[in-house]
């Protein structure tokens, strides 16, 4: 699924000139980060309850976060050394 998402993202970037790819990626990254923060703030209690009552959910949450970070790393083109 991540490969399909990356493929769609690359097709989206193909509509724009190459000198705009960085700025579009940066804007999308900022929007995604704010969206994720808002989602976590809104459902933080549910995440805590999920981790407390379903210990098997921890690997699932790690996999979800790993996928999100991989996509964000691709969006930024791997330029952030902190995430490597």
Closest CA to 28 of 15, 12, 40, 42: 12
d(Cα 71, Cα 67) in Å, to the nearest integer? 6
Top-confidence residue, 44 or 84: 44
Confidence check: pLDDT of 81 > 50: no
Q: Does residue 3 or residue 2 have the better pLDDT?
A: 3
- Our CA dihedral for 46, 84, 63, 33, rounded to 10 degrees, sits at 40
- Residues 7-36 have pLDDT tens digits of 888 888 888 888 888 888 888 888 888 887
Cα separation values, 19 from 15, 23, 24, 68, Å? 12, 8, 10, 25
Q: Where are the domains of the chain?
A: 1-9+43-84
For tokens 């000139």, what's the residue? 17
pTM of the model: 0.53
Q: Please give the share of the chain, as a percent, with pLDDT higher than 70.
A: 82
Q: Which two tokens stand for residue 20?
A: 């705009």
């Amino acid at each position: 699924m991540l490969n399909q998402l990356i493929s769609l993202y690359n097709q989206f970037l193909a509509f724009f000139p190459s000198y705009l790819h960085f700025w579009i990626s940066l804007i999308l990254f900022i929007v995604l980060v704010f969206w994720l923060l808002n989602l976590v703030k809104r459902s933080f209690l549910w995440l805590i309850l999920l981790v407390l009552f379903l210990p098997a959910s921890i690997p699932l949450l790690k996999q979800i976060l790993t996928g999100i970070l991989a996509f964000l790393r691709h969006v930024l083109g791997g330029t952030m050394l902190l995430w490597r």
